[in-house]
Structure 1
Amino acid sequence: MNIATHFGRTSKIMALSALLLVPSATVFADEAAFKKVCSSCHSGGVKGWMSGAPNVKKKQEWTEYHQRHNEEEMRAIVINGFNDHKVKGGCKSCSDDEINEALDFIFANTK
């Protein structure tokens, strides 16, 4: 194998490896939406403690919710409101897409 072939293969492997290390823009968008809409209740602060909202950092707190409702049902609850959960988490300016991005972040971190 000549040096040009070796260099070509090595650079391709390095480029592909770099892609695996860079989080997608979707991951950042989902987390940003979560922080905007859900974090005040679902990140373990006083507001979440007072309301009894499960903490996104504690998977075991979400077990009951995942057993009772599938993702589609949970999306409907958050978007439409249900019992103590406000419509869109109380975010009047949020689109359904933003809410779904926030829920994608929650699901990815609580299952």
Structure 2
Amino acid sequence: MAENTGDIVLPPTKRFRKIPIYVVEEHNDALQFIYSAIGGKKLPLEGTTLLHLDAHPDMLIDRKLKGTEARAGRNLLPLLQIENWIVPATAAGHIAYVVWLRPPWAKQFR
């Protein structure tokens, strides 16, 4: 992923030797690995594309969550649930695009 700073695109300063795969039970737990990669300069601070493989969108907007909390980094993690973890990371700018791949058997959203 490259960091977009206006017209100039800067690559992350480091790269993974192998692409890590993390399997989590609670979907919001994935965010700690994203923040860790950002902190380790292996993902850019802003502009990442998230490939979301799930039957549910996990993009609920939590009306109780304040904007400052959405940009609180690791302090945000305890405030999130499985249904609302993507929007705060997007609001903070860490995720620019979400590509949601839903399995064919998931019929909730058409």
Q: Is TM (by shorter chain) over 0.5?
A: no
Structure with a larger share of its residues in helix: 1
TM-score (norm 1): 0.26
Between Structure 1 and Structure 2, whose CA radius of gyration is higher? 1
TM-score (norm 2): 0.27
Structure with a larger share of its residues in strand: 2
